[in-house]
Amino acid sequence: MKKVQVFADKTELGEAAAKQSVKILKDAVARNGYAVWVLAGGSTPLPGYQAVVDKYADALDWTKVTLVMGDERIGPNDGPDNNWHAIDKIIGKIHATKVFPNADQSAEDAAEEYEVQLSVLPKGDAGVPRLDLVWLGIGPDGHTLSLFPNHASLLPSGGLVTAVHDSPKPPADRITLNLRAMQGAEHVMVLATGKDKQKIIAQAVKGNNLPIALVARIVETHEGSVTWLVDKSAAPAD
């Protein structure tokens, strides 16, 4: 699979992401009888979730797939900021197992509870849950999930979930899968559209110490793959 894939717009990108993701999930289910898909928050991936529902609702046995929310904003679970709430409106009809946090509590309590929910997932060679497919968004500052540049969210952890405060991207309080959790990622797809992400994509694809590049390096060091799906305005110039 080509490392950087360029699409005309977010709809075409979403359709491609859905098609490639369903193949990865089907292969994982065939191999292990089970697949885990970590979902990205934010707005970019929403057309991709819609494409999965529209075109692939019958493409595999979704009851063998577990959907996991990659990060969540602290606040009402049915509030406008809640990543899972936005995604579930689209994929709610898919009969997968769904693992998402209760964000209507302190970040520490939400992280602790979510850690327990994730601890039952089958582990891979790195001793953390095997994440067959991980969708990631990216911010113009190079953040991904709720891992931010020069921020405590990047500090080493013995767990999988980190409580985040003072997020540069509102809301301030969040929880997130952390760098240790990303050691279990098999296939990562970074989804990015818009001119405001072109510079950071070009830098991150080459490698640097921004969160998205740190995650990519961790994944590839653990024999995982990273694919960058971008629209024309976010595509690296060279």
* Chain contacts with ligand 6PG (rule: CB under 6 A): 40-44, 71, 73, 83, 137-139, 143-146, 169
Question: Between residues 40 and 179, which has the closer beta carbon with respect to ligand 6PG?
Answer: 40
Question: Between residues 143 and 180, which has the closer beta carbon with respect to ligand 6PG?
Answer: 143
Q: Which residues contact 56 (CB under 8 A, 6 or more apart)?
A: 18, 19, 22
Instruction: Please list the alpha-helical segments (H only) found in 33-106.
Output: 46-56, 83-91
Q: Which residues contact 65 (CB under 8 A, 6 or more apart)?
A: 25, 29, 34, 35, 36, 37, 96, 97
Question: Between residues 85 and 169, which has the closer beta carbon with respect to ligand 6PG?
Answer: 169
- Which of 37-54 are b and which e, b meaning 16 or more Cβ less than 10 Å from the residue's Cβ? bbbbbbebbbbbbbbbee
185-192 and 225-231 strand pairing: parallel
CB of 44 to ligand 6PG, least distance (A): 3
CB of 138 to ligand 6PG, least distance (A): 6
> Cβ atoms within 10 A of the Cβ of 236, count?
16
Beta strand extents in 33-130 (DSSP E only): 35-39, 65-69, 71-73, 97-99
Supply the DSSP symbol for 166.
S
Question: Between residues 19 and 85, which has the closer beta carbon with respect to ligand 6PG?
Answer: 85
Q: Alpha-carbon distance 120 to 128, whole Å?
A: 10
Q: Which residues face 97 on adjacent strands?
A: 66
CB of 177 to ligand 6PG, least distance (A): 10
Q: Which residue is nearest to ligand 6PG (CB)?
A: 137
CB of 1 to ligand 6PG, least distance (A): 21
Question: Between residues 128 and 138, which has the closer beta carbon with respect to ligand 6PG?
Answer: 138
CA nearest to 66, candidates 90, 32, 106: 32
CB of 198 to ligand 6PG, least distance (A): 13
Question: Between residues 64 and 142, which has the closer beta carbon with respect to ligand 6PG?
Answer: 142
CB of 137 to ligand 6PG, least distance (A): 2
